[in-house]
């Protein structure tokens, strides 16, 4: 059992499946813990996607560089969120994305092979991952609705209203990138809101 407490992850798991303290200790042993400095990159575009990552503290984002050389964020992860190129992870192929720490961030990482061993030993975790992926997939379909159905200003206001924690913690230019807006446009909306 590692020294630092993992209460938040333990509680998060138990929201979905029953896991005892003893089992949780065994489950943790399948993961590697990493401390990332702000801006540190944990998955590199063009390389293999070998791990999925859980945020214990901090924040990460997954992004690609478009043909104009501009970073575009496709997903954020705060505490108890998983982040990876899940398609490349499943297919054991290379990824087009980078994953980078937005703040100093503590993560747990697990490789495909270790996850297979973990799921074999604790099949109840299939149910945990099934549920969180189902929710994440459902949320991504809803995101498409917001991106298609709302004006640019509404997209921004909807996001800050529904995810106030992000709006507080994540730099504006990353939120702009995630919402498909320019940083200048987000500054404009914010100025308008304040006035």
What DSSP element (H or E) covers 13? helix 7-16
Q: Is 60 exposed, middle or buried (0-12, 13-18, 19+ CB in 10 A)?
A: buried
Question: In the set 13, 43, 60, 88, which binds a second copy (CB under 8 A)?
Answer: 88
The CA-CA-CA angle for residues 107, 7, 133, to 5°, reads: 60
Take residue 49 and report the two structure tokens written for it: 């996607």
Q: Is 159 in the site for a second copy (CB under 8 A)?
A: no
The position carrying tokens 């993961």 is 31
Residues 144-153: contacts with CB within 8 Å, 24+ apart?
147/179, 147/180, 152/181, 152/185, 153/189
Q: Of 29-37, 123-131, 163-171, 184-192, which segment contacts a second copy by CB under 8 A?
A: 123-131
Of 6 and 89, which has the nearer Cβ to a second copy? 89
The mark string for 46-85 relative to a second copy (x by CB under 8 A, - otherwise) is ----------------x-x-xx----x-xx---------x
Among 20, 25, 92, 136, binds a second copy (CB under 8 A): 136
Rank residues 58 and 85 by Cβ distance to a second copy and give the closer one.
85
**In the set 142, 162, 164, 165, which binds a second copy (CB under 8 A)?**
142
Instruction: Pick between residue 1 and residue 136 the one whose CB is nearest to a second copy.
Output: 136
Q: How many CA atoms lie within 13 A of 80 on its CB side?
A: 13
84/105 with CB nearer a second copy: 84
Which residue reads 């092979």 in tokens?
Answer: 113
- What residues line the site for a second copy (CB under 8 A)? 62, 64, 66-67, 72, 74-75, 85-90, 96-97, 119, 123, 126-127, 129-131, 133-145, 147-150, 180
């Amino acid at each position: 059992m590692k020294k630092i407490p993992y209460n938040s992850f333990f509680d998060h798991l138990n929201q979905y499946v029953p896991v005892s303290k003893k089992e949780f200790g065994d489950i943790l042993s399948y993961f590697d813990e990493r401390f990332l400095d702000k801006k540190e990159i944990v998955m590199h575009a063009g390389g293999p996607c070998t791990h999925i990552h859980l945020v214990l503290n901090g924040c990460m984002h997954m992004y690609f560089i478009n043909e104009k050389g501009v970073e575009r964020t496709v997903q954020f992860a705060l505490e108890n969120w998983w982040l990876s190129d899940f398609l490349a992870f499943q297919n054991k192929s290379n990824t087009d994305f980078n994953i980078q720490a937005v703040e100093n961030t503590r993560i747990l990482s697990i490789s495909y092979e270790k996850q297979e061993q973990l799921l074999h030993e604790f099949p109840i975790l299939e149910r945990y991952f099934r549920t969180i992926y189902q929710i994440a997939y459902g949320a991504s379909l809803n995101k498409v609705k917001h991106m298609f159905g709302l004006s640019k200003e509404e997209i921004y206001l909807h996001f800050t209203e529904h995810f106030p924690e992000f709006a507080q913690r994540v730099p504006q230019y990353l939120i702009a990138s995630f919402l498909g807006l320019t940083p200048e446009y987000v500054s404009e909306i914010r100025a308008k809101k304040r006035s």
